[in-house]
Chain A
Amino acid sequence: MSVEDAIGDEERKKNRYHFDRHAPDYRDRAEEITRELHAQCPVAWTDTHGGHWVASGNREVFEIARSAEYISNDHDVKGERRGYQGISIPAPQRGRGNRGGFLEMDPPEQRHYRQALNPYLSPAAINRWIPWIDEVVRACLDEKIEEGRIDFVEDLANVVPAVFTLAMMGIPIKDWRTYSEPAHAVMYTPLTSPDIMRVGQLHMAMQQELIRRLAEIRENPRPGLVNGLINAEINGENPPDEELRGVLGLLIGGGFDTTTALTAHAIEWLSENPAERDRLSRERDTLLDSATEEFLRFYAPVVGNGRTISADCELAGTQFKEGDRLWVSWAMANRDPAAFDNPDQIDLAREGNRHNSFGLGIHRCIGSNVARTVFKRMLLQVFDRMPDYVCDPEGTVHYETISVINGMRFLPATFTPGPRLGPGLAETLETLQQVCDEQRLAEPVTVQKARAKVAD
């Protein structure tokens, strides 16, 4: 770097803020840090983790995240292109050899993958599953309803998204635990934890299992996202297994812990605000949609994503250089007073809620319809069957850091016991597997349009 460049660099990075997204401090003081960043530098430079930009302002995030011509998601694990490091800052040790599916790709490849998967995940595709999802929720609640106590994370919010994601993929749903523990642990275990190696191994084992399933479905095709991927045309060819592994990991990572985190936070807040809970339950027909968006805004499960600047440019008033790393904070953009009145308050009826929790631009969360639907179906049955639940703050455990997901490990609660309505979870999953196979529910909506039929 020449002297001139160095001076230019100083000038470019004059808005500095010490921001460490992996530190517990960020979780503990998130609102304060967010306010400081908004007030001082909605696009800031931080020296942490090799040095990177942090975009927190709503307008700035909007402009930057949608500038596909200047930002890249590419994770060039083999050093074949420009060596970009994908969406994690710093790039995770365990992930160095793996690309995180199409979330760590740029168009046109990225677009081809999404086109292959959209017909499984569109609103019309997900609506077909509602009676099926309701049965999973019913069984989860039945397991606990007579006892009068439940852990909303372990017994409900961990289970339903996992079971449903596997069903859509075309993987046997009875295996949900094989995937759910590692997918959850990888999110709640801080990078600095002594447990990180063990969790990494668990995760590897899960990857192996996925590879086995991939081979199996290749041999004996069965409908689902995995089959859709095997037959996808990416730049005119079927994708190689090594790319598919990353994509399957992405589907698990995206499908499991995110909806869990959203649901747990909403249930916790509603326990602390029982009048609001009763109102939401009563006025669900008009309030449930806006309340869901508001919980998404307030408790953005994926707090942000990394990007790499792919060409020198000026965006949102900042000079970026090719190769700069950038953290785009969806969670902070959701709390910008310039975009939301009373951003740190939950308003179940909020209008014009242009939140960023599913990201913006071409990488918009492809599972957003899954998340919304599963969240709503869980909440409704909790309202109907455990209307007086009270969470126990003593037993509640939030993630120590919010590096990737702002999630919860435990959320125990008590409620007035009620009667069971049907068989328990294991038996229900057997029935639902049959329903799924016989009615070919995991086919894309282009092939199978009928709504799931589940006998009561």
Chain B
Amino acid sequence: MKVKVDQARCQGHTLCAMNAPEIFELDDVDGHASAVSEDVPAGHESHVINAVRSCPEQAIFVEDRS
């Protein structure tokens, strides 16, 4: 699974990091999110899906290759 945060949409609600702290990091200065790495490590997919479903701005996009 691949994950990306659309920086133009993200407004720093931080719900992604709340749902999947290993996957998303928040900028120290403005709290906007980015994926630690584009590839989601195995076993973390459900957390990422929860993050996608929780993001109020619908700013997180995943691509499922499997």
Contacts and interface: CB of A to CB of B under 8 A. Distances in A.
B31 A122 contact: yes
Interface string A58-90: 000010001000000000000000000000000
Given A118-B30, A118-B31, A445-B29, A123 B53 contact: no
Contacts of A189: none
Interface stretch (A192-200, A218-226, A349-357, A422-430): A349-357
Interface residues of B, number: 20
B28 interface: yes
A156 to B, nearest CB: 24
Contact of B14 (A62, A123, A353): A123
A268 interface: no
Contacts of A369: 14, 31
Contacts of B4: none
B57 A352 contact: no
Given A360-B11, A446-B29, A352 B50 contact: yes
B27 A351 contact: no
A62 B53 CA distance: 14
A122 B27 CA distance: 8
Contacts of B1: none
A289 interface: yes
A124 interface: yes
A364 B12 contact: yes
A251 B54 CA distance: 27
Contacts of B53: 351-352, 354
A446 B11 CA distance: 20
Interface in B1-36: 11-15, 17-18, 26-31
A289 B18 contact: yes
A368 interface: yes
Contacts of A123: 14, 17, 26, 31
B11 A361 contact: yes
Contacts of A355: 56
B54 A360 contact: no
A352 B54 contact: yes
Contacts of B54: 293, 351-354
B29 A118 contact: yes
Interface residues of A, number: 27
A361 B57 contact: yes
Contacts of A362: 11
Interface in A311-361: 351-356, 358, 360-361
Interface in B46-61: 50, 53-58
B29 A119 contact: yes
A119 B27 CA distance: 10
A124 B11 contact: no
Contacts of B58: 62, 354
A258 to B, nearest CB: 16
A115 B29 CA distance: 9
Contacts of A358: 13, 56
Interface of B: 11-15, 17-18, 26-31, 50, 53-58
20 contacts: A62-B58, A115-B30, A118-B29, A118-B31, A121-B31, A122-B12, A122-B26, A122-B27, A123-B17, A123-B26, A124-B29, A351-B50, A352-B50, A354-B56, A356-B56, A360-B56, A361-B57, A368-B13, A445-B28, A445-B29
Given A123-B31, A364-B56, 19 more contacts: A62-B58, A115-B30, A121-B31, A122-B30, A123-B26, A124-B31, A351-B54, A352-B54, A354-B15, A354-B53, A354-B58, A355-B56, A356-B56, A362-B11, A364-B12, A368-B14, A369-B31, A445-B28, A446-B28
